[in-house]
Structure 1
């Protein structure tokens, strides 16, 4: 059996690997949904066949090994996609790979821990942000405002203590709580290098006046402002850590397993990157976009459809184009029938003459299928379904240029003149 503390290395969508595992550890992995599949190896007693899917990172199983899943995409590129999705304005201005500093690490968890620690260090360089927070407490002296209803309910006929509410100027703010929680989260992960772990521990000390978050509760809300501008990049990355796909951080604590770690879902990351980047590029054409825009296939409204991106006029009223991101490799013959049917459905329901599919890889950057039996428009052609491919191995500037080209193609599908 694989001993606790041992390691198993898998590759995203790679071949299954036969690993010695206890039945308990194997069942925990199978039930967690972390892997694409985890099944007993019929050819080797006491072994399990593990195959990774779209999730990359590292997790520690109870009584089992640390499972490390390496991405197909270089880690520096993965963090460029993440950085753009979180802060497109900054990344659009600076398309170099340094928008998220991953250091020299080429594995997901070490790079993530390094990036978050560097962002927090930068945020705290001018001191810990403080702000006003409403405090309710029982006290021996009156401070702030008396909570009359609580005073009567708890201490009728007796004073002190008095029930009061006041605004305290404190470091216990939503922003600092989020940064502290992300720091503590990373300190519990496997694979965090020693130097990074020591720096994270130092940041936790600097944030000690912020209260820890309760597991399973929603993250506290914060609003971007001039006062917290130096915190904003760190906060977005910290929230990505806390909202990661690790089972430990599913809201409500409903997961029955104690599987600790951090995973990126490459499907979601690619979708976020494509839709955010297209949305930013389409603003240059005076168009608006809606992500995960809900519509219904049937008149009764029983069957919902949610395209990844719907392009609309500048006032947001009329749909002009629809696009869906697919983190998969386009087949050699250029056909992925289920995807084409899905795009056709979107275009039909929205009353559009075009639909667009954006793949993570493919042999041709762009081609289309004209749908048989659809009514010809003024240009004499029927409905078209376009397939675009992005080369994730290309540098960020090329990636963004490709997305600008796709955005221009989406903008051209508009039948309405733009001012």
Structure 2
């Protein structure tokens, strides 16, 4: 009997680890791009040097081990950030602290599976939601209305069958399809604990009347309403599961090599959190936020730039500040010079007196740099580049307070140059 292959555990942005790995699994990891780097170890045959980047979660390699990437940030806080990424209206954040029940797990996949199962159980506590869905089919009896064009085209001069359309009251709704698809996805993921797996299997039985989704198919659309309000926390989290499931990666000119799992990109997650949290706070102050607002650096329009957030006046016409979020700290002092050059380019293009960088870099005090030879006007003050830090490991209330402080600074931003 073949011994099970032990999991490979990496740390987000940690040092490279030399692990025994088959060539197929190593090449699949290298081609997938889910790691910061994956290269053969020159010092040891049959080993690969694996280094994790910004993605955390778990992936299964073909014929090789499960690679688990542990986050630097507490898992419960990751799901709080994910709430902003997928649910600006806070539909699945708790009222008090904005936390999601992740159990006692400190690994992304087990915590996610536990959270999803708990949310679905709460959604189904009052029974499986049913709704009306339009059905078109061929039938031996008339029900609803006859589809005359289809009837003539397919069965001219013959009856039955009859081409009909009607509204069916059924559990096969978009909401239930999403819940079922997320459950089935989690049941296929590596690293889901047995107790959670059994509870997920039970939820799948409760959702058996919903048709399964075809892999790669676009998620069905649903509209928030009073009728599905109890489903909304589960739906938001399930959509995150389905969108975060990594696709199959194929090596060009080779047999298909599958790298499958669930991954969260912390760079993108932090950027989304900062953008949405600041946007909410700025709207309350009467300003107009414009996320991912495209501009050009040059007059010919060849060099495109896209700041994370441009803050405009209430009418949305005049920019007053620009913000860019930076999750990864490149230098020991936490303040990469390249970020300042980027912020200055944003301020220059938009004609602003200030630009802001927001780092996930602990509790460093806010600093600013006044750029030389950029002063114009009576006060002679140059462009100021502000560097803010937020500690995403802090409690949600403290984290949100830090973002509101930054929003307050943005509301006081100076007028354009």
TM-score range, shorter chain: over 0.9
| Cα distance, 1:332 vs structure 2 | 4.3
Report if aligned partners of 2:178, 2:219 keep a CA contact under 8 Å in 1: yes
Q: Deviations over 1:305-353 (max 9, x none)?
A: 2111111222323222110111112634564222112212222222221
Find out whether 1:50 has 2:50 as its counterpart.
Answer: yes
Match of 1:96 in 2: 97
State how far apart, in whole Å, the 2-side matches of 1:348 and 1:148 are.
63
Match of 2:354 in 1: 354
State how far apart, in whole Å, the 2-side matches of 1:92 and 1:214 are.
29
Report if aligned partners of 2:148, 2:163 keep a CA contact under 8 Å in 1: yes
Q: Which deviates more, 4-13 or 359-368?
A: 359-368
| Contiguous gaps of at least 5 residues in structure 1 | none
State how far apart, in whole Å, the 2-side matches of 1:390 and 1:166 are.
54
Match of 1:261 in 2: 261
Report if aligned partners of 1:291, 1:307 keep a CA contact under 8 Å in 2: yes
State how far apart, in whole Å, the 1-side matches of 2:295 and 2:137 are.
48
Report if aligned partners of 2:28, 2:249 keep a CA contact under 8 Å in 1: no
Match of 1:235 in 2: 235
Find out whether 1:344 has 2:344 as its counterpart.
Answer: yes
Match of 2:78 in 1: 78
Matches within 5 A, 1:124-273: 124-244=124-244, 246-248=246-248, 257-273=257-273
| Cα distance, 1:38 vs structure 2 | 0.5
State how far apart, in whole Å, the 2-side matches of 1:266 and 1:149 are.
52
Find out whether 1:123 has 2:88 as its counterpart.
Answer: no
Give the direction of change, closer, same or farther, for the CA distance of 1:104–1:203 in structure 2 (3 Å limit): same
Find out whether 1:113 has 2:113 as its counterpart.
Answer: yes
State how far apart, in whole Å, the 2-side matches of 1:397 and 1:249 are.
39
Q: Secondary structure at the match of 2:327?
A: strand
| Cα distance, 1:362 vs structure 2 | 5.3
Give the direction of change, closer, same or farther, for the CA distance of 1:45–1:5 in structure 2 (3 Å limit): closer
Match of 1:9 in 2: 9
Q: Secondary structure at the match of 1:361?
A: coil
TM-score w.r.t. length of structure 1: 0.92
Q: Which deviates more, 188-197 or 362-371?
A: 362-371
Q: Which deviates more, 61-70 or 127-136?
A: 127-136
Report if aligned partners of 2:353, 2:415 keep a CA contact under 8 Å in 1: no
Q: Deviations over 1:144-167 (max 9, x none)?
A: 222222112211221111111111
Q: Which deviates more, 334-343 or 52-61?
A: 334-343
Q: Deviations over 1:51-73 (max 9, x none)?
A: 00011111111100000110011
Match of 2:316 in 1: 316
Q: Which deviates more, 107-116 or 296-305?
A: 296-305
Report if aligned partners of 2:359, 2:387 keep a CA contact under 8 Å in 1: yes
- Count of paired positions: 410
Q: Alignment RMSD, CA only?
A: 2.2
Report if aligned partners of 2:294, 2:305 keep a CA contact under 8 Å in 1: yes
| Cα distance, 1:394 vs structure 2 | 2.2
Match of 2:385 in 1: 385
State how far apart, in whole Å, the 2-side matches of 1:148 and 1:128 are.
35
4+ residue segments displaced more than 6 Å: none
TM-score w.r.t. length of structure 2: 0.93
Report if aligned partners of 2:321, 2:355 keep a CA contact under 8 Å in 1: yes
State how far apart, in whole Å, the 2-side matches of 1:334 and 1:58 are.
28
State how far apart, in whole Å, the 1-side matches of 2:52 and 2:10 are.
6
Q: Deviations over 1:172-212 (max 9, x none)?
A: 11111111100000000111111111111111111111111
Report if aligned partners of 1:324, 1:356 keep a CA contact under 8 Å in 2: yes
State how far apart, in whole Å, the 2-side matches of 1:393 and 1:130 are.
40
Find out whether 1:373 has 2:373 as its counterpart.
Answer: yes
Q: Deviations over 1:125-157 (max 9, x none)?
A: 111111111111111122222222211221122
Report if aligned partners of 1:308, 1:325 keep a CA contact under 8 Å in 2: yes
State how far apart, in whole Å, the 2-side matches of 1:377 and 1:84 are.
40
Report if aligned partners of 1:4, 1:63 keep a CA contact under 8 Å in 2: no
| Cα distance, 1:107 vs structure 2 | 0.9
Give the direction of change, closer, same or farther, for the CA distance of 1:411–1:95 in structure 2 (3 Å limit): farther
